[in-house]
Amino acid sequence: MIKNDLFLRALRGETVDRPPVWMMRQAGRYLPEFMEIKKKYDFFTRCRTPELASEITVQPIRRYGMDAAILFSDILVIPQAMNIEVEMKPDFGPYLPNPVRDQKGVDNVIIPDVNTELGYVMEAIKATKEKLNDEIPLIGFAGSPWTILCYVVQGQGSKNFDKAKEFCFTNPKAAHQLLQKITNTTIAYLKAKVMSGVNAVQVFDSWGGMLSPTDYQEFSWRYIQQIIDALKDFAPVIAFGKGCWFALNEMSKSGAAALGVDWTCSARNARYLSGGNITLQGNFDPSRLLSPPAEIKKMVHQMIREFGKDKYIVNLGHGILPNIPLENAKAFVDAVKEYKV
Ligand code: CP3
């Protein structure tokens, strides 16, 4: 039994005294104790060494006491395991030297045995569960197939992922084959993560909002739906689509336990579009963590009043930024813990 199960109760829609809180990308980025580890080990060494990955995962919990931990890893370990080279360049981000741009490229992509190729993730989960000692739940995650395709085809981060879109719109057959391969791998991967001990999974569709509502259905949502269908009987699934408020209604009928919302959608609109019954997660503007701590606390309390304390998980609307002062992150978490109806 997990001692603090607020997060899991919110995912089940149960009544709670206060909503649970965690922050997307809370492991890493802004913590000095993380920067110490980062100085010594490159990115994929940190991901592949269970002792390091589990340590980085629990660092923010020790400091701030969030109600859930998210495993330190990256969405791009999936393409790496699928025979696509992925580098993480310091001060640049992901770099894929041989992006997939044609049918031949898609044919070369393999569906790996996740327990061998990504066994290090499963070991990191086990090591983290030991460190967490059943105090709080652990979240596992994957990128959405569309968001993974964005990197695999573009070859790096981008403001508009133009090459990824060009590939989908000029060669939809190959694009769908690639998306299906990523989907099959992701389903096996998330199931293995649940078997290894994660208590919930989140699918990050960070670039879903790059697509029109119609294209979103075709190139992103239908693959996320496959993942939800395959996982929902094993663990609660959170679907987070940045910029995807237009799809909230359909998402609310998907079998997902909760939906992530970014800060461009008001609580009222998010509740309205998602039908008022499903648990929502979000949606503090990550840049608002630059406001003074007292103001952050006021805004967080206002956000909880707007979403309502039940069927709600307090979070940011996207990942925490690297330049957030430590006391401001603390104010965010404390504000939730201090919340009284
Ligand atoms: O909460 C956590 O921090 C858990 C670990 C986590 C990382 N990446 C570690 C990481 C998670 C959940 C991710 C998800 C991820 N990775 C997403 C989806 C969420 C989102 O923010 O949209 C995406 C799009 C990526 C791809 C990625 N990885 C990018 C664009 C970058 C470079 C920019 C940056 O700093 O985020 C990464 C590198 C990365 N992944 C770092 C960390 C801590 C920073 C590099 C480093 O530590 O050396």
Is there a domain that residue 305 lies in? no
Pick the residue whose CA is nearest to atom 44 on ligand 1. 29
The Cα angle at residue 297 between residues 341 and 336, in degrees rounded to 5: 50
Q: Which domain holds residue 45?
A: 6-287+310-319
Q: Is residue 293 part of a domain?
A: no
Sign of CA dihedral 43, 184, 199, 302: positive
pLDDT of residue 131: 98
Round to whole Å and give the CA distance between 131 and 62.
Answer: 11
Residue 111: per-residue pLDDT:
98
Ligand 1 atom closest to Cα of 29?
Answer: 43
Q: Is 93 in the pocket of ligand 1 (CB under 6 A)?
A: yes
The answer to whether position 272 is within a domain reads yes
Considering only CA atoms, which of 24, 64, 65, 83 is closest in space to residue 318? 24
Is residue 156 classed as helix, strand or coil in its secondary structure?
strand
Q: Which atom of ligand 1 is nearest to the CA of 141?
A: 12
pLDDT at 46 over 90: yes
- Non-local CB neighbours of 286 within 8 Å, separated by 6+ positions: 263, 316, 317, 318, 319, 320, 321, 324
DSSP state for residue 210 in the 8-state scheme: G
74 Cα: distance to centroid of ligand 1 (angstroms): 6
Does residue 303 fall inside a structural domain?
no
Q: What is the pLDDT of residues 84-139, one digit of tens each?
A: 999 999 999 999 999 999 999 999 999 999 999 999 999 999 999 999 999 999 99
Question: Does residue 266 have a pLDDT over 90?
Answer: yes
- pLDDT tens digits, one per residue of 49-82: 999 999 999 999 999 999 999 999 999 999 999 9
Residue 341, pLDDT score = 83
pLDDT band at 29 (very low <50, low <70, confident <90, very high): confident
The verdict on residue 337 lying in a domain is no
- For residues 308 and 13, give the distance between their C-alpha atoms in angstroms, rounded to a whole number: 12
Cα(185) to centroid(ligand 1), Å: 20
Nearest atom in ligand 1 to the alpha carbon of residue 26 is 1
Q: Report which protein residue has its CA nearest ligand 1's atom 39.
A: 74
- Regarding the beta carbon of 207 and ligand 1, being less than 6 Å apart is answered no
Give every CB contact of residue 157 below 8 A, 6+ residues apart in sequence.
93, 94, 151
Write out the E strands in 223-316: 237-241, 258-261, 279-284, 312-316
Residue-wise pLDDT tens digits, 288-325: 999 999 999 999 999 999 999 999 999 999 999 999 99
pLDDT value, residue 295: 98
Place 28 in a pLDDT band, splitting at 50, 70 and 90: confident
- How many domains, in total, are found in the chain? 1
d(CA 237, CA 16): 20
Residue 306 CA to ligand 1 centre (angstroms)? 29
Q: Specify the length of the chain in residues.
A: 341
How confident is the model at residue 141, as a pLDDT? 98
Cα–Cα distance for residue pair 99/106, rounded to 1 Å? 10
| Tens digits of residue pLDDT in 213-234 | 999 999 999 999 999 999 999 9
Q: What is the pLDDT of residues 183-205, one digit of tens each?
A: 999 999 999 999 999 999 999 99
Tokens at residue 166, please?
A: 């060009």
Q: Is the CB of 332 under 6 A from ligand 1?
A: no
Q: What is the CATH number of the domain that holds 118?
A: 3.20.20.210
Pocket test for ligand 1, best of 22, 23, 25 (most atoms within 8 A of CB): 25
Confirm whether 302 is domain-assigned: no
Closest CA to 284 of 304, 257, 269, 268: 304
For the sheet with 258-261, list strands across it: 69-70, 138-143, 200-205, 237-241, 258-261, 279-284, 312-316
- 341 within a domain of the structure (yes/no): no
pLDDT at 319: 97
Ligand 1 pocket residue status of 315, Cβ below 6 Å: no
Whether 304 is in a domain gets the answer no
Whether pTM > 0.85 for this model: the answer is yes
Instruction: Round to whole Å and give the CA distance between 145 and 286.
Output: 24
